[in-house]
Chain A
Amino acid sequence: MRLATALRTTGGVWIAPLVLGWVWLVTAHEASNEPAYWAGNTVLVGHTLPFYAPACAAFAAWEAGRLRRAGVHRLGAVRGRYAIAFSVLWPVALLGVAAVVACLITVRLQTGVAHDWPHPGVLAMAGYLIVVHTAVGYGLGMMLPRILATPVILVVDYLCLVMPVTITSPMWLRELTGWLDAPYGDVTITVNPMALVVPMLMATGFLAAVLVSAQIAQWRRNRFVRIGAAAVASAVCLGVFTASAVAPVRNWTGDPPPQARTDAPVCADGSPRVCVPVEAAASLGPLTEASKEVVPRLVGAGLTPPKELAFVSEAAHIDKQTWRLFLYRDMRDVDLEASVAASALPVIPPCDTSTDVQEGNMGTLAAWLMVKGGLDEEAIRGQSSEKRAADPRLASVVRKVTKLSPEEQLSWYTRNVRLLQQCKPAPETMPASPPVEG
Chain B
Amino acid sequence: MDPIQQAMLKKSHAAKLERRGKLISLFCISLIVVVVLAIFFFVASRGLATFFTNKVNLWRFLSQTTWSPAVKDASGQPQVGALPMIVGSFGVTLLSAVIATPFAVGAAIFMTEIAPNLGKKVLQPVIELLVGIPSVVYGFIGLSVVVPFIRNIFGGTGFGILAGTFVLFVMILPTVTSMTVDALKAVPRHYREASLALGGTRWQTISRVVLRAAMPGILTGIVFGMARAFGEALAVQMVIGNAALLPTNLISPASTLTSVLTSGIGNTVMGSLENNALWSLALLLLLMSLAFNLLIRWIGKKGEIK
The answer to whether A and B come from one shared complex is: no
